[in-house]
Each structure stands twice: as C-alpha cells, then as structure tokens.
Structure 1
Amino acid sequence: MSGWVLSLLLLCSWSLSDLVVDACTCVPIHPQDAFCNSDIVIRAKVVGKKLMKDGPFGTMRYTVKQMKMYRGFEKMPHVQYIYTEASESLCGVKLEVNKYQYMITGRVYDGKVYTGLCNLNEKWDQLTLAQRKGLNHRYNQGCGCKIKPCYYLPCFVTSKNECLWTDMLSNFGLSGSQSKYFACIQQKEGYCSWYRSWAPPDKTIINATDP
C-alpha cells in the first residue's frame, strides 16, 4: 500500500440498518497537504495491537514506540496508542507489529490519536530523502500554500498561493516526482512555488507550473 495516494478526505459510507458496507475510497493527496492537515505526525514502530470492543465492528488499538514527533507537540507531546477502524471497508489501516518503522499521521479526538487508510501512513524506509526533509521543516513552511491537483489538461493556478500538482496526469499521484521530491513553499514576494528540496546549494526554485 502506498500512502501517497491516500488523503485525509474520508469518503466511506455504511448503513447498519441494511448491513451494507461500501469500500473505503480516498482521493490523492500530496504528502505536504497530508502533513499540514494532520494533528499528529510521528515516526514510530508498532510494538503491539489489541482489538477493542467499541464501535459497530470494533476498533484496533496499536501500541507504538514513538521515535520522533514532527507535528502535534501542543496536542499530544508523546503518542503511545494509535486507533483505527478494525474493518478495512471503514478505512481501517493495518500496521505490522515489530517489523517496520512507520511515518504515521492522524487526528486527535477526545485525547486519542486516530488514523486510517485515507491518512498518510508509510513505511519509513520507503520515503525519499526529500520527503524526510519535508517532514523535518519544508512541509511546515508551506502550510500557508495550497496544492491544487490537476487531473486533466488544461489546468491553471488561480491565486498566488497555489502550486499546480500534476502527478495525476501520468500516474494518478502514485510515486510522482512532485510527491517524491518537491514542497510548495511561499516565497518572499508572497507567491507559492515548487521547491526541490534535494537540489544542490543554489536551491533551485521553479515556477508554479513545473515540473
């Protein structure tokens, strides 16, 4: 599962009366938007799990060992548990125990951290160097910018704080170069543009329609 094609916009629906459960559906989201729209962003290893009885299908509680927090200090400085729906059809996410370190994003409700398939949850060793740098500082610098998806041509930016995201034109947002290597950063003039964070010391800045 690739976390880059998943978004924070939950489009699941279900009906207890009819016992009909729709499959979880998520729209593409750039990792910077996933970062900026999350209450909590951490690097952690899952060390345990327990199926809780609450909810119609139960809730999975993962016990995590937090390695580093990138976002959410003011809400919860240390995360011990991550909650998600037990059912994948309700966008519950499955994390492996004592195997990988993950980059996990989520929202805080009633003092608990919740995540799901439409959040950004990725194995740490599958992140690019640019994405790791983005978590440390680049993405936070761009939270005032808006990343505008382009699904078909022509498409244009309509305000100075927008960056045009074109990964979907070739591969529907999956492993695209803008997701892998770029952050949308506000410049001194007030305009937002793509910044290639792994670039050499000249810190190449490209315009809103590139790459």
Structure 2
Amino acid sequence: MARRMQQLYQALFCVLLLGSLHVSRFADACSCLLSHPQDAYCNSDIVIRAKVVGKKLLKDGPFGTMRYTVKQMKMYKGFEKIQHVQHVYTDASESLCGVKFDIHKYQYLITGRVFEGRLYTGLCNFNERWERLTLSQKKGINHRYQLGCKCRIKACHYLPCFVTSKDECLWTDMLSHFGYPGYQSRHYACIHAKEGYCSWYRGVTIRDKTTINATDP
C-alpha cells in the first residue's frame, strides 16, 4: 500500500495547459503536457527574444520567486499587455516548474502569461535558446504561427487517430519521437489553406532564410 501511495504521489505533476502555468506542489519533480511550439505561441500572452542580464531571488511565498532582468531584443506578441519587458518571473524551484536562464550568455525565446502586469514563465512554457530554434520555428514565431491560431493541433499518441474537423492538424511526433521535439514541432506550422482547411505547412524559402538570418541572429 505504501509503495502504491508513493507511485500515486509521483504521478502528480504540474501542467501548463494552453500556455498557462499550473504548479503542483505535491510532486517531487515538474512534468508538463507536450505542446507544439505553435500552440505555445498562440496561448501565450507574451512572446519575446531577450538576453538575460541579471537575477534576484524575491522572498515572496514559501518557495520564493526568481526575478530575471532581461534585455529585450524583439517582441513578437503581447504589445497590448506589456510594451517592453524588463523582468521575467518564475518559481525559484525547478521542481515546481521554475525555469533557469543563464546570465549574460545567450539570447532566449521566452513565452509566458501576464499576471498583475508581470510576465511569468516556467518549464512548461516554450523557452529556448534562440540559436537552437530551426529556421521554420523562427519563421513561425515571426509570422506564421499567428496565421494558425484558429487551427487546432490534435495530438496522436497511438494509432489509429484521425482529424474530426477541417480546423484540425494531426500531430504525430509522439509516435516516432516519443513526443516533442519531433519533426512536425521543428519544421511545420498548422495554418488555414485556401480551401478553408487547416493543414501542415513548411514553406521555408531561400528568401525566408536570408531574412531570418539578417534580422534575427
């Protein structure tokens, strides 16, 4: 019985569903539902590219909050909520879905939600070093993901699985890559086609590569 109870407690996890950070304080580690980068973009209040230049532990609550000071390089989404992001807040504990950024090293893509005028993010949000993003992901963040925010990316965990609406794209990364990040996550966006159906689109052209490399190093 004790072992089964331990397994049940370990099964509890913190989930960011549709871009919202939900923390489970019963779990010993943080785990998250898989999300395609497009969903992460569409369901975030703020999407920016920034360099982290400082941090400070705030003694609020039993676990504390880490406040990262950032130098915003570019904002892709959220102008109406925060015109210029100076600080990013996250749980101080990684076991409670807090995210850790390196200081003065990399440019990051940072996504999150706004609460009381503050940008909050966590391990269940899509945060990645900019240099690690594919050209298709950069193109999506710049423009393409926004075109697909009315589409629904339907995860396929085991066969058979089907789309049930013209607004759905079937996401099969879980079948071949054991989840994110798979080929569709790294190279495709789900957008409306001319016929009114949502479908996967890659479409990174030579012009796209030149533009992205010139404007988003």
Whether 1:166 and 2:172 are equivalent positions in the alignment is yes
* Aligned mates of 1:82, 1:156 — CA distance in 2: 39
- Which of residues 122, 126, 130 is equivalent to 1:120? 126
3-state SS, counterpart of residue 125 of structure 1: helix
* TM-aligned CA distance change 1:9 to 1:168, over 3 Å: farther
Q: Where in structure 2 are the equivalents of 1:25-174 lying within 5 Å?
A: 25-174=31-180
Residue type of the alignment partner of 2:52: V
By how many angstroms is 1:172 displaced? 2.3
The sequence identity of aligned pairs, in percent, is: 70
AA aligned opposite 1:135: I
> What RMSD over aligned residues (CA atoms) do the two structures have, in Å?
1.7
Q: Distance in 1 between matches of 2:27 and 2:59?
A: 19
Cα pair 1:181 1:197 within 8 Å, conserved: no
What whole-Å deviation, never above 9, does each CA across 1:97-152 have from its counterpart, x for those lacking one? 00010000000000000000000000000000110000011000000000000000
Identify unmatched segments of 5+ residues in structure 1.
1-5, 15-19, 202-211
How big is the shift at 1:27?
Answer: 1.2
Corresponding residue to 1:191 among 186, 197, 201: 197
Counterparts of 1:137 and 1:149, CA distance in 2: 23
Other structure's SS at 1:151 match: coil
Q: Distance in 2 between matches of 1:200 and 1:163?
A: 26
1:30: Cα distance to partner? 0.4
1:179/1:9 CA distance change after superposition, 3 Å:
same
Mapped contact 2:36–2:180 kept (Cα < 8 A) = no
Superposition TM-score, scaled by structure 2 size: 0.84
Structure 1 residues 156-201: Cα deviation after superposition (integer angstroms, max 9, x where no partner) = 0010000000001011223311111100001222210000132579
On the 8 A contact 1:12/1:23 being kept in 2, the answer is no
Query: Counterparts of 1:3-42 in structure 2 under 5 Å?
Result: 8=19, 10=21, 12-14=23-25, 21-42=27-48
- The yes-or-no answer on 1:177 pairing with 2:188 is no
CA separation in 2, counterparts of 1:110 and 1:132?
29
CA separation in 1, counterparts of 2:55 and 2:38? 28
- Using structure 1 for the length normalisation, give the TM-score: 0.86
Alpha-carbon contact 1:160-1:192 (below 8 Å) kept: yes
Structure 2 spans left out of the alignment, 5+ residues: 1-15, 208-217
Write the deviation string for residues 62-113 of structure 1: whole angstroms up to 9, x where unpaired. 0000000000011111000000000111100000000010000000000000
Question: Would you say the 8 A contact 1:11–1:26 is kept in 2?
Answer: no
